[in-house]
Structure 1
Amino acid sequence: MNKLWIIALETYKRNIKTPTFFVMILAPFLMIGISLLGGVIGSKFEETSKIAVIAEDTTLRAGFSDQISLEVDDSVDTEEKAKKALENEEIDGFLVIRSSEQEPELSGEYFGESSLSQSDQQEVQQVLSMMQLGRVSQSLGLSTADVQKLNQLATLAVKTVEFDDGNMTDKQDNKVAQIFGSMFIALAMYIIILMYAQVVATEVASEKGTRIMEIILSSTSAAKHFYGKILGIFLVILTQVVIYFGLGVGGYLFAKKTDFVQDMLAEVSIKEMLGGLIGYNLLYLLLGVVIYTVLAALCGSLVSKSEDAGKAVAPVTYLTMIGFFLTMFLGMNDPQHILMKITSFIPFLSSFTMPSRIASQTVSTPEIFISLVVLLVTTIILLRVAAKIYRSTALVYSDTGMWQSLKKSISLMKSEE
């Protein structure tokens, strides 16, 4: 056991001292910053800075100009002027609103050298619809109060209940916190796995096929050396998580009195958020990171050069992306989809999809236990298989490719049995 911890600590110290570790700590913040910057720049480019509004009814024209957030050039009031202004690039486009005294319906037609952005188009559509609603209600003799009643949504109260000795009682519902927790788990696993998959594979493959490996294996077993490397990388991952936790606590203490944080806490409390992260979700996060780390190590053991580690972890990357995008596209919108139900029991994918089902309260406790047991047993089996494959390929000096190495390792394991 002492040799195991010596290998783990040596792997840990070597990795946290590298510039790559500090880059990985900053990577999520850089990704978020680049995404926000890209969104801001994109929205600026999509903006329509100035338009003209043409309508025979001057009341309609004035009403539309007052309600729209786009800049309207009031000096352009005819189609001929609008066409000339568009040709001279004085405006970005013009909207023609058509109406009749006999019919209250409105129709609009936009002209421009480039199309309206999606957000601007929705806003124009919304303003025209509101103006049309006012004209229709006026033609029907409806008052403002009548129109408000027509637009008022029906009240719907959703309660979760439980039964105790045949009596139905209200059950505390922390669905918002659970959804937050499931999204956090999916995003955290996605980032951690993609950042560390190649690191794990490189670490495992770095000493393979060298004379140094012969010296190492003379003092310890290949399996213990393999387990030590995985444990060391896992400690590096825990260190990064602890750093993020400390930064999160510090950020909260610094910004807890801001309006944004207060508005967020009005929807869900800190206690509920933490409740959504611990329990089953924390188990899925832990087991998910472990099983993907073991898979990355297995892939790394199949190559004889650390330079090939990037290619070796392709299966890890693909599985991670499948699980993450399933959660983002189906987990948030349709957690009862058949794909969500099936993958919530499949190892590697269940770490992503089952927390979404738990958040939507569409899964029973026995199903959660079955999913966790399957995930845990698969992780243990995969760890043992990966150690055996590493032992059979540790002193391989020739590069025969991943699949050939895997076939050879499987045949060796069968012969040992």
Structure 2
Amino acid sequence: MERARFTEEHELFRTGVREFVNREITPALANWEQQGRIDPQLWRAAGKQGLLGLTVPEEYGGEGCSDYRFRCVVMDELAEAAAASVNVALGGFDDLVAPYLVDLGTEEQKRRWLPGLCSGERTAAIAMTEPDAGSDLRGIRTTAVRDGDHWVLNGAKTFITGGGHAGLVIVVARTHPEAGSRGFSLLVVEEGMPGFTRGQALDKLGQRAEDVSELFFDDVHVPVTNLLGNEGGGFGHLMERLPRERMSIAYYALTTAEAALRWTVDHVKSRRAFGQPIAEFQNTKFTLAEIVTELEVTRAYLDQCVDALTAGTLSATDAAKAKWWATELQQRVISRCLQLHGGYGYMREYPIARAFVDARVSTIYGGTTEIMKEIIGRHVIA
């Protein structure tokens, strides 16, 4: 299946990304999965390669490229290596943190934080989810009270990707409890601030190399200069940027499913049963026909969404459509591909096995499938 609408420039970039993945990631991935952590050196290597801060303006250390297809190229190559953990780790900056800092940060904040993040010398995370507030962000209980030139932050966050090693964390907190959805603000907590502690990395089903942690804030005094965006505007800031996060999840789900199909075609052509290649059985051909058709139809829609994201016109509703459909399709495709691998598909040395467990969270994080349908349904009724 051809990757649509990538130019010669994108393919040249792809060559460099593929070499980077083969050199820096593939040989170490199994070890990282066993250790439950990615070597911090990877961020510095990625920064040197120009893979961090793709959309961050050059004056702040980034690549200054608004074309989201370059980020898609990175996801393609990580999917081919079954490196979902690495995609989440690197994408945590480009798809989650960077848009907040670039769009909402003051000049001083951007110059203070972005160069180190783009070079990989520091890492960052965004802390939204709480034990009682997942997809429903209005349930957030973490609070921040103004005290002179500081905000005093108290609360806890959970399931925070990269939280165990992040040098700075964008924390969503209630600053005006009586104001409803207008009562949230974004505060940037930096490593070393008294009262900021981290729990142990959580024991996950898949994506085991990337740490996901609990974070605790006990009377953390955050300078007012670390307020990101408008006071009380946190909920709106989140809603404006969630489409990019959801689009990144959708795209990676699709490109992982496409990779799974390629691995499966290679396997069924070489593996024999009852005197012939598995590929020659009608069931195999029918299954592959269904998979490739669903993938190509989905690719056509997601290509449109990628173009809209680059143009800044991707709506929250269309991002929700892409997210729920592509991630649910990912579950179906990878499961069927694993079945065609037979017993080998259950072995973690095969990429299809890692992809199977790594993919399961896709329909959950970034907003569950059910929440995506709620967003779309509200739009249809309105």
TM-score, with normalisation over the residues of structure 1? 0.22
Structure 2 length normalisation: TM-score? 0.24
Larger radius of gyration: 1
Bigger RCO of structures 1 and 2 (CA < 8 A, at least 6 apart) = 1
